[in-house]
Amino acid sequence: MVHVKSIISVLVSTLSLCASADFTTLPFYPAPSVPAAWPKIPTVPAWAVPSTDRHKPPHSPYRKQCKVKARGPGLDDIPNIIEAARKCNHGGRVILDEEYYAASPADLTFLEDVDLVLSGKITWNNDVQYWQNAGFFIPYQNQTSYWLIGGNNVNIYGGGEISGEGQTFYDAFASNATLLRPILLVIYGARGGSVSNIKLSDGPSWFNLLINSSNFIYDNLHMNAVSLSSNVAKNTDGIDIYRSDNIVFSNSVINNGDDCVSFKPNSTHIIVSNLACNGSHGISVGSLGQYENEIDIVENVYVSNISMSNAQNGARIKVWTGTAAGTSANYNGGDGAGIVRNITYDGMTVNNVDYAIQVTQCYGQSNLTFCAEHPSRMLIQDVLFENFSGTTSGKYKNITTSIVCSAPNLCTNLQADNIDVASPAKYGAGQSQCKNVDTTSLHVNCTASAA
């Protein structure tokens, strides 16, 4: 069994934000301190072990149960949900077992020892113009959210569904790439808790963002974002982890159009296991180094037992160049600094992926000469890829792996073992691109040109 380190002290405090139809900007918190060195496979805390009573508040029995009654078709149920959460705060359960319509922002960052038991369905309003000026603005990568959920020991479960009605956003974004598209579920400032046994469908943008949180579990989630038109469901990341520590994500299915999982800046002590990802960009460290004068740290991450199908990448590490001139999608960035350290990808089956493994310090740039002239300020060290199998798509013909660093001293101790990934037979034996990296421990066929 994979093990996680024992719980460390909480890094962030609860935010109390006022939910309204006005745009609320969230504060940009400083990065957490760098933890001490950590062994590759640490030991498990009790909170990370699945059990039948995991969702019970640890300090007191349930004192209250608050059932939310739906108001009816087209009527906003958010005020009633917030009221029930306040009534059942400190050890209660909020029962959501009907069809609910959500048409206004919701701030639920005040919760203490509360379970949100969703066996019904919450459907968010899909008024694109309304959400340009409502919700909670998150400065990182210009995001916004329908709602924020946070506090101490907050658990969301019950077998129900949250729908973002994303098709309207997919179609609108195709003709206006400046539109804000709300994140479907944001856990903000949580210390302990979980999201489990929930279906998330048609998120307009990222499905999940975990921010400024610690000791949190995601388990048994089903996410699905498929456009019904020719307009792609873009940027529908499964889970993005940002400025958070001691996190577990497991036993889930993600069908989407961007990263299956993304470890954003200052994500530490994370286990990801037993996922089936389809249509994604891979399980990604980054992107990092996007913002000038920011320090990004991602370390002590263990990813295991992953199925990756019809994807751009299997395992990916992506960092920006050492200048702000780079461009990727709608983001301008580069010249941030930091480190990626102690990352393990152990066990991945790939099917029809473009690269089984990709490491790049040239994110946002296709010109490798430019990258060499402006090396990344992000260090990548102590990374292990092992036990990969399957086939690539042939997009890059027989190239199955690409490990391209912008300078030789910026990538150290990268290892690849037992990598059994083939390219389509018509392209011949698989090869790997390896540039500005010591290939001694890269047991892949580093014979392809990276020019």
Q: Which residues are catalytic?
A: 281
Based on its alpha-carbon atoms, the radius of gyration of the chain, rounded to whole angstroms, reads 22
Question: Residue 160 forms beta bridges with which residues?
Answer: none
- In sequence order, what are the residues at sequence separation of 6 or more whose Cβ sits closer than 8 angstroms to the Cβ of residue 10? 191, 214, 215
Phi, psi of 82, deg, nearest 5 = -65, -40
The end-to-end CA distance of the chain, in Å, is 41
Pairwise CA distance, residues 297 & 449, whole Å: 30
Please answer whether residues 210 and 242 qualify as being in contact, where contact means their C-beta atoms are separated by less than 8 angstroms: yes
How many CB atoms are closer than 10 A to CB 119? 15
Pairwise CA distance, residues 394 & 391, whole Å: 9
Q: How far is CA 149 from the centre of its chain?
A: 16
